[in-house]
Structure 1
Amino acid sequence: MPYVLVGDVVMSLAFGPRNGTGPLDSQLSAFAVGLPLAAITSLFPLTRPMSVAAARALCGVDGDRLADGPARTRAAKGRTAAWFTLHLAFGGVIAGMSLAVPPFAAVLIMLPVFAGLRDSGLPELFDHTWVLVLSPVAGVACLLALAGCAAGAGTLLARWAPELLGPTPEDRLAAAEARAADLAVRNRLARELHDSVGHALSAVTLQASAARRVLDSDPEFVREALAAIEDTTRRTVGELDAVLGVLRECEGAGTSPAPTLAELDGLLRRTRAGGLRVTATVAVDATALPPLVSREAYRIVQEGLSNALKHAGDQVTVTLRIEVTGKELEITLENAVPRTAAPRPGGGHGLRGIADRARLLGGTTGTGAVDGVWRLHVRLPVERATTSEGPA
């Protein structure tokens, strides 16, 4: 109605009041002028969100088939303008029919009953008997036609809504990038939780088990194991706070930083306190490594030791070597495979996490058992990480 009123004003200013035309001609002219105005106003950013909300609520269109947010590209704005104009055009036509058809249909239905209606200036055609007999049928047909037009307009708009208000290729690309970023964050959180909390639980379990076995015979070992359990759990709580800080989108705000290879001695000490024999050869200056490589290398070593705790137990010796060869940091963990070793139900995520960490840095991972020795070998490029260092 506002667009029609503006169109009527424009027509009056351009051609004078009515200009000798009838009411219907004047209304159609105002309607024709109002539609282009509607197309222009549809370029406002809020038009598409409001149109999408209307299509979801009134047309029953699945929300996943419609785009969210304002139209940003030229193609999206053009499609939104087409929808908005069609919507108002159909609405204007159906509104005009709804105002005119029901009273006219009511007159046709009541015409044979009320003689006064025939004397109210109707054409002479309505004086014929056959017209009076058919006029109620015509009145009902007019009402049915109005209902059919309204239903047909709604069906067409519901069919066109996904085409005109659906996401453009740019919208789909932006949504895919957002989902990929969210998935990357979720995967990173899963790796961090698995590596830090999983390793801590494995180490604490082994340390408590070893302390229980020698509780009466070796009190000194029990004290060391309990101290290692206390240290492990305290550090794990700090690492868990860091991970939860990322989850709350406030990483670094009052949270503990992720550990690096500079803290490798503490990891080895806590692991040995649980009874696992670890021989380590570290031929690298941890402080000289890029922080990202140092953090990921720490997690890789932690997960490798955790796998040894879970699958090999404390009856084997784990050999750890960390060195820089050329432009790559090499991490190698080896341990004998116990004859009684059996696959752990639900396992397998640790090695996948190691492979993911190495792949994200452009490195490689090799695992497998050869001649009764399980070997984990990881290569991480140092130079590439130096040039592409970013937030971890």
Structure 2
Amino acid sequence: MRAVARPLFGRRARLRWIHLILGGALAMPYVLVGAIVVGPVAGSTDVFSSFPLQLSSFAVGLPLAAVTSLFPLTRPLESAAVRWLCGVDADRLADGPARGRAAKVRTALWFTLHLAFGGIVAGMSLAVPPFAAVLVVMPLTAGVFGDRLGFPEVFGQPWAMALAPVAGVASLLALAGCAAGAGALLARWAPALLGPTPEDRLAAAEARAADLAVRNRLARELHDCVGHALSAVTLQAGAARRVLDADPEFVREALAAIEETTRRTVGELDTVLGVLRDGDGPGTAPAPTLAADLDGLLRRTRAGGLTVTAEVAAPLEALPPVLSREAYRIVQEGLSNALRHAGEGAGVAVRVEVRAGHLELTVDNPLPSVPATRPGGGHGLPGIESRARVLGGTAHAGPARDTWRLHVRLPLRATL
């Protein structure tokens, strides 16, 4: 019994019934407009007193509904209603307005079907229950309703009195069956008519790719600023601890470098996290540039115990902001690798020069005596390669004679 009743009166069937009644409510303004057209044509002043004229008004109003379905909000609203009331998975429906002729035609067809089925089921929902109630109680009224129904010769018969309650219950079941069937049909057709078109899928894929690109860039910003700061602060604190009693001046310089490094990193971290929280911020978090902070970066790295020499043969102030910012991050990551792998007191050489229309960045440091390993590998070199590739440049890292060399070439006209 429950298996039979659930498709007709279960929760999903009831929600779909509500969806159809909403369609009937939406159809009423169009039916009224249709009545204004049908009335004069049929020569009637009371269209709603005639069932054929009501159907004619309904038929005239549906094309008007198809035209108004071209408004941009129609598809998002219909998709939301189908998702919540018809039980259709969200990923099978389009969220945005219909774009393109095919999508608009399908939306118009869906809206027309929703209003057509909804108008019929809503009308039946208003008319059938009272009629069924009369049939159910007819045996108790001894044929009083026979004259009012217009068939006294039928409803005055004993067999009619016996069958009337059965007919009343059957009409209610028929109403529930029509509503359940119409709801199931609409739920089946919804993905085809309201689902994403190839253009929608392409737009969604492009949006996801753009969002992923932004997140990857923010991840690189976090890796570079936080990774460099942790490496520098670790070595600076270790060097200060070892000479705490022997060289107080060096300790003061190391502590000052730790303070400056952490302060700058907290500011950069707050900027990146702000972009992540807002969700609609710029594609990259603001970062220092070569012109603004190359000297400070070198000074803080020296405070960690490395001997850093720098050769700058490029007009840093004249570099494009994007190029200068990305180049700063590349040099920063190169120095971070040197801090982690070259060892205390090692000499690191940094060269920044312009050659043949390219900005060339080179970081040389001694090869480690014992190769360092990190679980899962690091992300610094892939990040450098990604930055260079986005700018249209190249990046190479590896042993060069007795040193480890990072060499990056970036075109001066590079833009993101």
Q: The TM-score by the shorter chain falls in which range?
A: 0.7 to 0.9
Unpaired runs of at least 5, structure 2: 1-27
Q: 1:321 aligns with which of 340, 351, 368?
A: 351
The aligned counterpart of 1:160 is: 189
Q: Normalising by structure 2, what TM-score?
A: 0.83
Matched-pair contact (CA < 8 Å) for 1:362–1:381:
yes
Matched-pair contact (CA < 8 Å) for 2:34–2:59:
yes
Give 1:8 shift: 1.9
Q: Which amino acid in the other structure matches residue 13 of structure 1?
A: P
The aligned counterpart of 1:258 is: 288
Q: Which amino acid in the other structure matches residue 303 of structure 1?
A: E
Matched-pair contact (CA < 8 Å) for 2:47–2:53:
no
Give 1:211 shift: 0.4
Describe the shift of the 1:370–1:128 C-alpha distance in structure 2 as closer, same or farther (beyond 3 A). farther
Q: 1:365 aligns with which of 395, 403, 406?
A: 395
Give 1:335 shift: 2.5
Alpha-carbon distance between aligned partners in 2 of 1:373 and 1:257, rounded to the nearest angstrom: 29
Q: 2:303 aligns with which of 264, 268, 273?
A: 273
Post-superposition Cα deviations, 1:316-373, rounded to whole Å, max 9, x if no partner, equal 3323333333222222223233233331235411112111110110111222346664
Q: 1:185 aligns with which of 210, 214, 228?
A: 214
217-226 or 342-351, which deviates more: 342-351
The aligned counterpart of 2:121 is: 94
Alpha-carbon distance between aligned partners in 1 of 2:240 and 2:49, rounded to the nearest angstrom: 102
Alpha-carbon distance between aligned partners in 1 of 2:111 and 2:387, rounded to the nearest angstrom: 49
> Quick check: 1:150 aligned with 2:170?
no
Structure 1 residues 194-213: aligned runs within 5 Å: 194-213=223-242
Post-superposition Cα deviations, 1:286-331, rounded to whole Å, max 9, x if no partner, equal 2333332222111101001111212333253323333333222222
Describe the shift of the 1:180–1:380 C-alpha distance in structure 2 as closer, same or farther (beyond 3 A). same
Matched-pair contact (CA < 8 Å) for 2:289–2:321:
no
232-241 or 2-11, which deviates more: 232-241
91-100 or 287-296, which deviates more: 287-296
Structure 1 residues 1-392: aligned runs within 5 Å: 1-17=28-44, 23-117=50-144, 119-120=146-147, 121-122=150-151, 124-126=153-155, 130-244=159-273, 246-247=275-276, 248=278, 258-261=288-291, 263-345=293-375, 347-369=377-399, 373-382=403-412, 384-385=413-414, 389=415
Give 1:210 shift: 0.1
261-270 or 360-369, which deviates more: 261-270
Unpaired runs of at least 5, structure 1: none
Describe the shift of the 1:40–1:123 C-alpha distance in structure 2 as closer, same or farther (beyond 3 A). farther
Post-superposition Cα deviations, 1:195-216, rounded to whole Å, max 9, x if no partner, equal 1222112111110110000001
Alpha-carbon distance between aligned partners in 2 of 1:266 and 1:2, rounded to the nearest angstrom: 71
Q: Which amino acid in the other structure matches residue 260 of structure 1?
A: L
Number of matched pairs:
384
25-34 or 180-189, which deviates more: 180-189
* Higher RCO (C-alpha 8 Å, min separation 6): 2
Alpha-carbon distance between aligned partners in 2 of 1:2 and 1:227, rounded to the nearest angstrom: 75
Alpha-carbon distance between aligned partners in 1 of 2:47 and 2:272, rounded to the nearest angstrom: 77
Matched-pair contact (CA < 8 Å) for 1:311–1:344:
no
Secondary structure in structure 1 of the residue aligned to 2:344: helix
Q: Which amino acid in the other structure matches residue 56 of structure 2?
A: S
Alpha-carbon distance between aligned partners in 2 of 1:345 and 1:44, rounded to the nearest angstrom: 55
Describe the shift of the 1:8–1:307 C-alpha distance in structure 2 as closer, same or farther (beyond 3 A). same
Describe the shift of the 1:343–1:13 C-alpha distance in structure 2 as closer, same or farther (beyond 3 A). same
Secondary structure in structure 1 of the residue aligned to 2:407: strand
Among all aligned residue pairs of Structure 1 and Structure 2, give the percentage whose two residues are the same amino acid. Answer: 71
Alpha-carbon distance between aligned partners in 2 of 1:19 and 1:8, rounded to the nearest angstrom: 9
Alpha-carbon distance between aligned partners in 2 of 1:20 and 1:261, rounded to the nearest angstrom: 81
58-67 or 81-90, which deviates more: 58-67
Matched-pair contact (CA < 8 Å) for 1:42–1:84:
yes
Alpha-carbon distance between aligned partners in 2 of 1:3 and 1:285, rounded to the nearest angstrom: 71
Matched-pair contact (CA < 8 Å) for 2:135–2:167:
yes
The aligned counterpart of 2:19 is: none
